[in-house]
Each structure stands twice: as C-alpha cells, then as structure tokens.
Amino acid sequence: MPSLTELYDAYVDTFRGADGKLPPMMELKRIHTAHVVDNAKLIAAGEGFDAETARACEAAALLHDTGRYEQLKRYNTFRDSDSVDHAVFSHDIVVEKGWLDGDPQREAILTAVLVHNRRDVPDGLDPLTEAAVHAVRDADKLDIFRVLEDQIATTDWRHNCEAFWNLPTQAAPNPAVVEAIRAGRPVDYQNIKTLADFVLIQVGWMRSGLRYATSRRLCAERGHLAFRRNFLHELTEDPVVDELCDFQISACVGV
C-alpha cells in the first residue's frame, strides 16, 4: 500500500514535461508544499500533539494545495477569482483519487484542506479536525512569509511588479487596510491598492492571525516582522508603518 506522500508525488509527476521537469510555477507550489509540511510538523511537535493528531496535521499540509497543478494547467493562473477556489478543487481531487479511503482521519484531513484558505473557520469542529485546520493555516502562512521574501529578493519588483498583482510600489497604505489591521480584523482583499497593503496583510496575520504559540515563535525566530518593517520603509514614509509593526509577536494571542 503506497504512502500518502508516494501517492501525492506520483500525482505531481503526471504534470512533468518530457524533460522530467515541472513548469516553474508548479515547481514553486511543490516546494511550498514541502515547506508547509515541515512547518506543520514543527507546530505539531511544539504544541505537543499526540501522534494521531500530528499525522493528521502533516497529511493535511501535504494535500492542502493538491489542486494547484490542475488549476494552473487548466486556467493558467493561481488567481482563484479568475478560475476555481483552489481549496475546494484540492479537496475534490483528493476525494476523487480515493487517497484517503478507509483512513480513520479522512474527514479531519479533508476538512482542513477544504477550509485552509477561508476567511473564517467553521464553528463546532471536533478537536482533531480543529488541530489539523489550524496547523495547516498557520503552516501555510509561515511559508507565505518565506515566499514573499524570496520574491522580493529574486524579482525586479520596482520595475516589474507582476508577482504582486502589478500594484503601485511607491505608495502609502490604504486607510481601510490600516483600520482593519489596527482592529485585528481580516483585510478585505478588495481594499488592497498598493504593495504596502499587500505586505501589511501579512503583518496583520502576525498580529492576530496565527493560532499557535509555536507558529508565533517560528515567525519571530525567522525575522519575518523585521523584514516587513524594513521593506515597508522602502515603499512609504507613512508613520503608520512603525505604528503597525511595533509589537512583539510572542505577546500576541492565538485566534
């Protein structure tokens, strides 16, 4: 019986070209997934989850973006609003492939895949599902922090801001975004008007979007907040940057 990782890897292999390589955008998702799995393992260990719960977190992390490959192949975009909700797509592919058939943690893992990108997590989840859901959401955010830093380091973002939705780079944040972050509310994506808004969303996640203390510790250790504060100073002189970035991640509470 092949392991979940073997099933997943064999599926990803079907998207490889004759040269054995994945298209570059798919390769980024494959690497992202590996990091999300590693983050989920660190969270499970740090939070002292039992072996079953840790396994559900890891499995959900592995499968959370399964649909990204088919999404890109079919629609040539990762923008859900222009194609499909990639979490629903991932969930449906995992069900259709039968990878979790007979798995005692099937429902918890599938739910975590399904809701990983939702603004709000449904109420009333059982403890196993709740742990898998929040571990994947935290693990995903932690890797999105890495991806942003990687994109800034490797793209000519001042002249070609394609990686950031072609947003204006030298511009102050939208007051609506600032207000949401101050209030600890999720940012409405329609309000993202500048690159500073895009970066501030992640500051908002650090302030009030990470569930587990282990996730907040990893975020602090990796210097993600300091990076954003410095980078925001390159984009705008608005003093609100310091106001919003002036906090200790370790002092934040879980959501």
Binding site for Fe ion (CB under 5 A): 65
Between CA 181 and CA 60, with CA 112 as vertex, the angle to 5 degrees is 115
Closest CB to Fe ion among residues 8, 178: 8
Measured in residues, the chain has a length of 255
Backbone phi, psi, residue 118, to 5°: -75, 150
Q: What is the CA radius of gyration of the chain?
A: 18
Judge contact between 81 and 112, C-beta under 8 A: no
Closest CB to Fe ion among residues 42, 113: 113
Closest CB to Fe ion among residues 88, 172: 88
Judge contact between 185 and 120, C-beta under 8 A: no
- Rounded least distance, CB 87 to Fe ion, Å: 6
Distance between CA 206 and CA 219 in Å, rounded? 8
Cβ-closest residue to Fe ion? 65
Q: Which residues contact 110 (CB under 8 A, 6 or more apart)?
A: 91, 94, 95, 100
Closest CB to Fe ion among residues 148, 240: 148
- Rounded least distance, CB 78 to Fe ion, Å: 9
- Rounded least distance, CB 189 to Fe ion, Å: 14
Distance between CA 9 and CA 65 in Å, rounded? 13
Closest CB to Fe ion among residues 65, 197: 65
- Rounded least distance, CB 67 to Fe ion, Å: 9
- Rounded least distance, CB 224 to Fe ion, Å: 18
